[in-house]
Amino acid sequence: METVSENRAFGGVQGVYKHHSHSCHCDMTFGLFLPEEARDGPVPLLWYLSGLTCTHENAMVKAGAQQWAAEQGIAIVFPDTSPRGEGVADDEAYDLGQGAGFYVNATQKPWAPHFNMWDYIAEDLPSFLQEEFPIDMSRQSICGHSMGGHGALTLAMALPGRFRSVSAFAPIANPTAAEWGRKQLRAYLGDDEAAWAAHDSSVLMRDKGFDGPLLIDVGSDDQFIDLLRPEALAGAITERRQPATFRLQKGYDHSYFFVSTFMEDHVAFHAEALYAD
């Protein structure tokens, strides 16, 4: 592991680290905030998955999460959104390739050798964190924004028992039926649309649901709301009668101004689940 940086923040430490990923077959960078309590022993962990075009740095710098995590005594990890580096496939479009991993394991060329972000988040990075840092991996929750909200919801529903709670800011909620989704799922997974369903939170909500608390915030003035399709997820939650809090926040858009406004709510929401007996 390479320590890129470590900075004192709210009594804890905000670090940036680089390691070799066995699933993505390249070096990956992530941010990790450890609260002051981590000096005395393992602390609960909140995952924050970022959206299209982001790196580990966007939420780490813009979301204001460290203040609330420090108050609650929980760690937050900020993974990158895709593999990067020499020899890693990319595309000229902003919504495919590097910065747009979509939290799937690619099966198609040229993406398959490196674009295994599902395994990276589900297996590779958790194992590394457990080995290197004072984190209680029996107490994990997950949240994300936009493409990261898609990833958080699909991982939480597909890995029952892993996460105690899940939340999302403006998630890509129905990618099998939207431009943000169909393009990427076809590129990464191929033309068989049956393989896409495992990465659609609206489909998973109808089929599996989530055994735990769920919080979703979407801005009513989100400029991408037609691509996000939150109404599909809201409908699936209603059909399943899934306990959930789904909030349409008046006047807010898709930006980190929106995310940072409601970050305190989300961290407190997860802390309640993480510290529940």
Residue 137 above 90 pLDDT? yes
Catalytic residue (one of 56, 145, 199, 254): 254
pLDDT at 157: 98
Our answer to whether residue 222 is catalytic in this structure is: yes
Average pLDDT, the chain: 97
From 23, 222, 266, 270, active-site residue:
222
User: Residue 92: which pLDDT band, with cuts at 50, 70 and 90?
Assistant: very high
What is the pLDDT, as a whole number, of residue 202?
A: 98
277 pLDDT more than 90: no
Predicted model pTM: 0.97
**DSSP string across the chain:** -EEEEEEEETTEEEEEEEEEETTTTEEEEEEEEE-GGGGTS-EEEEEEE--TT--THHHHHHS-HHHHHHHHT-EEEEE-SS--STT----SSTTSBTTB-TT-B--STTTTTT-BHHHIIIIIHHHHHHHHS-EEEEEEEEEEETHHHHHHHHHHHHSTTT-S-EEEES----GGGSHHHHHHHHHHH-S-GGGTGGG-HHHHHHHT--SS-EEEEEETT-TTHHHH-HHHHHHHHHHHT---EEEEETT--SSHHHHHHHHHHHHHHHHHHHT--
The reply to whether 254 belongs to the active site is: yes
Given the residues 146, 165, 167, 201, select the one marked as catalytic: 146
What is the CATH architecture assignment of 2-274? 3-Layer(aba) Sandwich (3.40)
pLDDT at 35: 98
| Catalytic-residue membership of 211 | no
